[in-house]
């Protein structure tokens, strides 16, 4: 740090809901931390559900409820119908209490146990899960699961109108399960009474002086002046802040926290919405990328925060979302160290930091190693934005996919994810580079066909399969012993698409792990995920900063990505029962990017931020470790204020 009314949309075919806002006539109270005045209010939500429908599926049963709009699907735990909604309140609202008034609780004995949810699959080595397993602690318990009729999480972030709000994510469980008795308890009517303190003030300026701040070390400032001028010329009011000045002017436990406090100040002083971080590691050759469990600073031009979420696969990973999640659920500074033990974004068997995760700014990073890369990116962004892209190439979306999981379904998961993404992009010409085209004369996910297709130009380029910092690849249908080569970083020089630059989205592990160096690749091949192959930069950043082609920006994962396999019902609650690979984890967040863009959002960082919001609304990050990791690792390597398709 530096020295009203609530809208509600009912979801679900037969869901009947209502609520009323009541100012209960008490005097304003004062938040002890912020000293801001609040007014105590109440809301009520009334829900109705139909009697559960029981379907026998082999050795298990499946429970469905009309009026629910999703499914609880955590690995090895019983899959149950849920109702979820996210309510928006004025920024800084404090949820005082939520009281559940269930009516007419009924019971039903089941013929078999409820099916457990499958484990997520790592999107790096093509692992296989042949059958579900049970969480014995739950299935041998006489306690009801879940342990309440509802749960909720709050967070502060930007809504669809880019206004700061407090979000209340509520999950209602109309069915609860006693595993040892194989009995369910259910309700057909349920009322929630929400008591909250609504703030009478907010910390944000009425008129914004700047739209974007670029944060960079002084050695990059001269090269960035050209970008600042361009942004101001196109109406994105932009300023530059040097990291050295931030370190002098702000306090914090380390340099990443000082930068985060500056961003908070820039929001509240200048009204900024976009933050562009410029700076990656200092060398292609040297540097491990991590000073300690929490940060990478010594070998970085601009520091990174590491998440300490421990899924036994990645023992810490880069998380730029830290710089975007400025506020917690009541509008205070979000430290990402809620238990105050000095370990950031901690989640293991013993400790868990409560993180709200919703972005409060739209943030991206140019992970430049030197001034040459800065100049490359400045020129690419200016040339891309200075005039509208030619529809002859821009109105094409290239999707690359194949087979992912050796399960009992016939789904080609990578292609299913591509097809779902293409279904949103109705104004774009779809070009499918699919493993299923093998032998049929069509394009297949080999380097040759990928390079040939990208050379023709496309507005969007999407890969759905397996990845690492070195490579992206997939499988032929039914052949899990053979990898389709895809494309690796050493083949990027062949990409000669010049000014026809796509926004690239890559679904695969570690493709955007931008802490790679040559010596680290050799000395720590497991940590760098390069399998001992020495490379100077990761797949996602190399593609973005490439001269003479590549992408204008790349969004992908800095750590292990997770996919879903099989078919366990309508997980995302959109009313369409589709393969789980498109309804959860990596498949869901990446397909939702294209849905968000199709919803008339054409600023890249806003698409990124709104997509994270959508994911958290559907799968709350604090509810499940893999969901938390999915948003923490999903990084934008590019300009968050980028006008997709250029300016008219």
Instruction: Please state the pTM of the whole predicted model.
Output: 0.94
pLDDT at 26: 53
pLDDT at 286: 94
Residues 297, 304: Cα–Cα separation, whole Å: 7
> What's the first-to-final CA gap in the chain, in angstroms?
40
180, 199, 218 - which closes a domain: 199
Looking at the DSSP bridge assignments, the partners of residue 464 are 401, 507
Cβ atoms of 579 and 409 closer than 8 Å: yes
Per-residue pLDDT band at 11 (split at 50, 70, 90): very low
169, 199, 229 - which closes a domain: 199
pLDDT at 155: 95
Residues 529, 468: Cα–Cα separation, whole Å: 6
Cβ atoms of 276 and 266 closer than 8 Å: no
Size of the chain in residues: 648
Q: Looking at residue 115, which CATH number applies to its domain?
A: 2.60.40
Looking at the DSSP bridge assignments, the partners of residue 296 are 304
pLDDT at 33: 64
Q: Is the pLDDT of residue 18 over 50?
A: no
Let me know if residue 469 belongs to a domain: yes
pLDDT at 184: 98
Cβ atoms of 513 and 124 closer than 8 Å: no
Looking at the DSSP bridge assignments, the partners of residue 9 are none
Let me know if residue 285 belongs to a domain: no
Let me know if residue 225 belongs to a domain: no
Any idea which of 432-436, 479-483, 626-630 has the lowest mean pLDDT?
Answer: 479-483
Q: What is the pLDDT of residues 23-60, one digit of tens each?
A: 444 556 776 666 778 899 999 999 999 999 999 989 99
Q: What is the pLDDT of residues 379-401, one digit of tens each?
A: 999 999 999 999 999 999 999 99
Let me know if residue 577 belongs to a domain: yes
Let me know if residue 228 belongs to a domain: no
Let me know if residue 337 belongs to a domain: no
H/E stretch holding 536 reads: none
Tokens matching residue 177: 């399960």
Contact residues for 608 (Cβ-Cβ < 8 A; gap 6+): 359, 362, 363, 364, 555, 593, 634, 636, 640
For residue 612, give its domain range. 386-635
Residues 2, 266: Cα–Cα separation, whole Å: 11
Number of domains in the chain: 2
157, 175, 199 - which closes a domain: 199
Torsion of CA 555, 561, 566, 567, to 10 degrees: -60
Kindly state the average pLDDT of the residues 232-257. 98
Kindly state the average pLDDT of the residues 94-98. 96
pLDDT at 22: 43
Q: In what order do the strands lie in the sheet with 553-557?
A: 429-434, 396-401, 460-464, 503-507, 553-557, 634-637
Q: Report DSSP letters for 519-533, one per residue.
A: HHHHH-HHHHTSTT-
Looking at the DSSP bridge assignments, the partners of residue 150 are 172
Cα within 13 Å of Cα(427), Cβ side: 11
Q: What is the pLDDT of residues 304-339, one digit of tens each?
A: 999 999 998 898 999 999 999 999 999 999 999 999
Let me know if residue 330 belongs to a domain: no
Let me know if residue 439 belongs to a domain: yes
Cβ atoms of 616 and 358 closer than 8 Å: yes
Per-residue pLDDT band at 495 (split at 50, 70, 90): very high
């Amino acid at each position: 740090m530096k020295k009203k009314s609530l809208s509600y949309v009912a979801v679900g075919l037969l869901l009947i809901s209502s609520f009323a806002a009541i100012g209960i006539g008490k005097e304003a109270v004062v938040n002890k931390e912020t000293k801001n005045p609040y007014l105590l209010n109440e809301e009520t939500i009334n829900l109705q559900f139909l009697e559960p429908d029981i379907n026998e599926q082999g050795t298990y049963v499946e429970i469905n409820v009309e009026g629910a709009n999703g499914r609880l699907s955590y690995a090895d735990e019983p899959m149950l119908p849920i109702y979820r909604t996210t309510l928006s309140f004025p920024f800084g609202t404090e949820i005082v209490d939520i009281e559940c008034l269930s009516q007419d609780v009924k019971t039903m004995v089941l013929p078999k146990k409820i099916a457990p949810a499958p484990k997520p699959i790592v999107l790096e080595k093509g692992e296989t899960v042949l059958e579900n397993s049970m969480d014995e602690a739950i299935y041998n318990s006489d306690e009801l699961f879940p342990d309440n009729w509802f749960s909720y999480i709050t967070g502060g972030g930007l809504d669809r109108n880019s206004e700061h709000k407090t979000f209340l994510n509520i999950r209602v469980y109309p069915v609860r399960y006693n595993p040892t008795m194989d009995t369910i308890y259910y309700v057909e009517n349920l009322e929630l009474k929400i008591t909250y303190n609504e703030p009478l003030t907010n910390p944000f300026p009425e008129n914004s002086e700047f739209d974007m701040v670029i944060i960079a070390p002084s050695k990059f400032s001269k090269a960035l002046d050209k970008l600042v001028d361009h942004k101001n010329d196109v109406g994105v009011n932009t300023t530059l802040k040097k990291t050295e000045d931030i370190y002098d002017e702000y306090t914090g436990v380390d340099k990443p926290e000082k930068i985060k406090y500056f961003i908070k100040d820039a929001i509240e002083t200048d009204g900024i919405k976009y933050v562009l971080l410029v700076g990656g590691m200092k060398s292609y050759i040297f540097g491990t990328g991590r000073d300690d469990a929490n940060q990478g600073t010594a070998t970085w031009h601009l520091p990174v925060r590491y998440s300490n979420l421990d899924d036994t696969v990645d023992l810490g990973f880069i998380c730029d979302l830290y710089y975007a999640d400025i506020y917690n659920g009541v509008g205070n500074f979000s430290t990402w160290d809620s238990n105050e033990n000095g370990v950031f974004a901690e989640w293991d068997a013993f400790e868990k930091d409560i993180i709200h995760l919703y972005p409060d700014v739209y943030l991206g990073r140019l992970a430049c190693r030197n001034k040459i890369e800065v100049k490359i990116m400045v020129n690419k962004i200016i040339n891309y934005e200075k005039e509208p892209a030619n529809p002859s190439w821009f109105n094409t979306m290239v999707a690359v996919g194949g087979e992912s999981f050796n399960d009992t379904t016939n789904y080609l998961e990578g292609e299913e994810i591509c097809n779902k993404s293409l279904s949103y992009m109705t104004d774009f010409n779809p070009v499918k580079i699919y493993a299923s085209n093998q032998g049929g004369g069509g394009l297949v996910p080999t380097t040759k066909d990928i390079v040939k297709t990208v050379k023709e130009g496309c507005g969007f380029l999407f890969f759905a399969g397996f990845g690492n910092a070195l490579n992206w690849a997939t499988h032929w249908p039914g052949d899990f012993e053979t990898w389709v080569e895809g494309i690796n970083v050493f083949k990027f020089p062949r990409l000669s698409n010049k000014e026809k630059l796509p926004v690239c989205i890559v679904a695969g592990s570690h493709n955007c792990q931008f802490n790679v160096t040559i010596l680290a690749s050799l000395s720590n091949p497991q940590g760098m995920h390069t399998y001992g192959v020495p490379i100077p930069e990761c797949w996602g950043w190399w593609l973005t900063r490439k001269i003479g082609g590549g992408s204008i920006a790349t969004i992908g994962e800095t750590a292990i990505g997770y996919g879903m396999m099989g078919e366990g019902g309508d997980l995302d609650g959109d009313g369409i029962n589709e393969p789980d690979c498109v309804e959860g984890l990596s498949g869901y967040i990446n397909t939702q990017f294209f849905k968000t863009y199709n919803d008339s959002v054409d600023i890249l960082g806003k698409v990124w931020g709104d997509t994270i919001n959508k994911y958290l609304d559907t799968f709350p990050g604090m509810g499940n470790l893999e969901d938390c990791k999915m948003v923490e690792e999903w990084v934008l390597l590019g300009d968050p204020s980028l006008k997709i398709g250029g300016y008219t």
